[in-house]
Amino acid sequence: MADVASWRAQPITVGHANGTRADATWGIAVESPVAITFNGLPWTVMMATPSNLEDLAVGLALTERVLRDPNAVVGIDLSTYLQDVSVNMIVQESALDLEAVRARTLASSTACGLCGIASLAQWHQRAGEAVPRTAITEAAIRSSVLALPAHQPLNAQTRSVHAAAWCQPNGAISLVREDVGRHNALDKLIGALARASRLAEPGFIVMSSRCSYELVYKAVTANTQLLATLSAPTSLALTWARSLALPLACVLPERDAGPSIVHFPLDTPNTGLT
């Protein structure tokens, strides 16, 4: 597959507060149509950053519950024409929900959530997956949040992409994926964990975005002890976090000190924060 750049240089003019102007170059994040297929069978078209697309395909298939076993993916073929990219997963059919694959073609954008959900009834059927969780300290969350920018090379060039980070329980960041879409970034992260046989590994997720209900549901695909975001959750995100017993935290920047961590009680004996 020919390389598809994930960002491009764009000439700009900067007007400064003192009235001066200067020419400069700005990094623009690339957004490309990405077609995902199973054994050549069309499934979905995503608008995504064209990087780590194998991870995106596997992660999305897992979080949408179309793929039952990541180990059943025996190969992934990537091809490109101009800026359009195709990702074909070669999968043992026994590991696929073929009815779900054939039922609809998912037309998605970078703002999409759980694209395979056709109705609220289907969404409610996905509850009841809560698992035991251990506490993550505020010090660990603070440490991971402060370290995140150093793990975002694409955002350093563009200032316009989200990151999803997998963190060890002590806050050390071990894996990061970036994308113009926050949901895509999380799917890429989960796909990368799955491909490395790390889905059962204890840890927590930090994201450079607000907390939406879609992120809450996708996060529990991994053995996530907590989901931390840079902005507060929505009311629906809180509802589903309580349903799935997933502790949530967000970051409150302080002008003269380190960030404060805001956490949200789940009305359960273990909130996941200490």
Same domain, 164 and 228: yes
Same domain, 49 and 107: yes
Q: Is 59 inside any structural domain?
A: yes
Q: Is 107 inside any structural domain?
A: yes
What is the pLDDT at residue 14? Answer: 81
- What percent of the chain is modeled with pLDDT above 90? 43
Half-sphere exposure of 11 (CA within 13 A, CB side): 2
Mean pLDDT of 247-265: 78
What is the residue range of 80's domain?
32-124
What is the pLDDT at residue 270? Answer: 40
What is the pLDDT at residue 47? Answer: 82
| pLDDT exceeds 60 at position 212 | yes
DSSP assignment letter at 93: G
What does pLDDT average to over the chain? 83
Helix (H) or strand (E) holding 29: strand 21-29
What is the pLDDT at residue 72? Answer: 96
| pLDDT exceeds 90 at position 257 | no
CATH number at residue 227: 3.40.140.10
**Segment 193-206, tens digit of pLDDT:** 999 999 999 999 99
Same domain, 102 and 40: yes
37: β partners: 42, 88
Active site residue 211: no
Distance CA 43, CA 86 (A): 11
Name the domain boundary from 91, 124, 157. Answer: 124
Name the domain boundary from 74, 89, 124. Answer: 124
Same domain, 143 and 219: yes
What is the pLDDT at residue 271? Answer: 42
**Segment 49-75, tens digit of pLDDT:** 889 999 999 999 998 889 999 999 999
Q: Is 200 inside any structural domain?
A: yes
Tell which residue, 237, 198, 193, has the closest CA to residue 215: 237
Q: Is 207 inside any structural domain?
A: yes
List the single range of 85-89, 113-117, 139-143, 162-166 with lowest mean pLDDT. Answer: 113-117
| pLDDT exceeds 90 at position 149 | yes
- Catalytic choice (112, 167, 211, 250): 112
Strands 84-91 and 32-38: parallel
Q: Is the dihedral of CA 209, 215, 218, 221 positive or negative?
A: positive
- Who wins on pLDDT, 229 or 126? 229
Same domain, 81 and 174: no
Q: How many domains are there within the chain? A: 2
